[in-house]
Amino acid sequence: MSNASARKRLSIGIVGGGIGGVALAVALSRDPGLDVSLFEAAPQFSEIGAGVSFGPNAVQAIRLLGLEDPYRRIADSSPAPFEDVWFEWRRGRDDAYLTASLAPGCGQSSVHRADFLDAIVANLPGGIAQFGKRCIDVQQDERGATAHFDDGTRFTGDILIGFDGIKSAVREHVLPPAHYGELEPFWSGTYAYRGMIPVRQLEAAMVDRGVNPRLAVVPQMYLGHDRHILTFPVKQSELINVVAFLTDRATPTPRLAEGEAWVNAVTQAELLAVFDGWGAASRAILACIAEPTRWALHELPALPRYHRERVLIVGDAAHAMLPHQGAGAGQALEDAYVLASLLTDDACTRHNAPQVLAAFAAVRHARTCQVQRTSHEAGDLYEYRMPGIGDDGAHLAAELETRFDWLWNHDPRDDVAAARARLAWEPVARSALA
């Protein structure tokens, strides 16, 4: 710790410069009593992937983090008069309408991942981020926590936050394999074929096939046996984000081929073959993706804990999940808000920081595990594998109309209040956050 950080109330190291890690760093940087350092393995901030969807709970977390203005400048939403539509649901084989899931006042709020990260980074003060810092080991004692990086450097602070993704290096320190076994990412059995299509191109392709072109711009989900397709707009509705899913359910524990990369470029012919016999809308969409990529979707098991004394894992490092509820990034942002609210409170010091991290983990664990589990189950629902529902249209519609309410209606301020109660802090926050 530097002399400067020693004079501050608390020094914090954040490992990982993705959306969640940068959002946390921005929120913490507003408190002059904190010394904040952010370590990113890459040479600069960057995001892989394309579109990312946020439910009402995530949009609220963005607002509470003080990032609503930059988000609104780049966010897409469902076009009028479909502003409240999260997704319309259709049968993949014939485009038949089933129902719509509505998120009043929010709808399908989405951005391009890289654009959103850039928007958050613009709010990060200089001197906080360091690049080329790949964490390879974590140690701690009663005085602090140390991250060791592969360039031979290290950082020691009062606490260390692992926001370093599904392949987290911090996770092994929190959950030592000698005590917990190997808690590694596993392949879900699902491949996601991804592509981006200019909206005018997709509209024209749909008209050519006799499909209403509004299906190009209103978020859609096309359902089928062991596969489904989703579309929603990004880049100010200039592009349509497409993800087509295929799940191998031949075995309860599917395995990737030895040496297979998580992400591969594949041919359009492969993608079209997967959805052979599907309806006109689906075929129009897939025919517009000349160079798809195929992602082997991995997730984490529900972890028994997220915290070990002065070290905490959050976001995908703690609860990486499948994207079927559009909830992964939202959970990272909820984590960032709740954690920042506690760490920016004057009652949080270097002496009680381990207890503060423990209170955070205690109030977040059940929710994030439930979001993980239900995200996996949602894939079964969309692909006609949910027990008692299958491909029954009426049962599907009834489930889809209300399934996400519990997820979207959660208020992370309640988590802050619950953590404060565990810590016996005053019920009225003295936090620097809203």
Exposed / middle / buried, residue 55 (Cβ in 10 Å: 0-12, 13-18, 19+): buried
CA–CA gap between residue 111 and residue 348 (Å, rounded): 34
DSSP 106: T
411: region left, alpha or beta (phi > 0 left; psi from -120 to 50 alpha):
beta
| Continuous H helices in 138-262 | 171-174, 177-180, 199-208, 214-217
Q: Residues 113, 194, 308, 367: which is the catalytic one? A: 194
Residue 163 in contact with residue 205, Cβ under 8 Å?
no
Nearest by Cα to 101 from 115, 117, 88: 88
Residue 280 in contact with residue 95, Cβ under 8 Å?
yes
- Coil, helix or strand for 201? helix
- 200 CB neighbour count, 10 Å cutoff: 11
Nearest by Cα to 162 from 177, 176, 147: 147
Q: Given the structure tokens 């749909």, which residue do they identify?
A: 206
Q: What is the side-by-side order of every strand in the sheet holding 154-157?
A: 135-140, 145-149, 154-157
Helix 328-343 and helix 19-29, axial crossing angle in degrees, nearest 10: 20
| Continuous H helices in 140-293 | 171-174, 177-180, 199-208, 214-217, 268-274, 280-287
- 421 CB neighbour count, 10 Å cutoff: 12
- 161 CB neighbour count, 10 Å cutoff: 33
Catalytic annotation on 7?
no
CA–CA gap between residue 218 and residue 228 (Å, rounded): 17
The one-letter code for the residue type at 433 is L
Q: Catalytic residue numbers?
A: 194
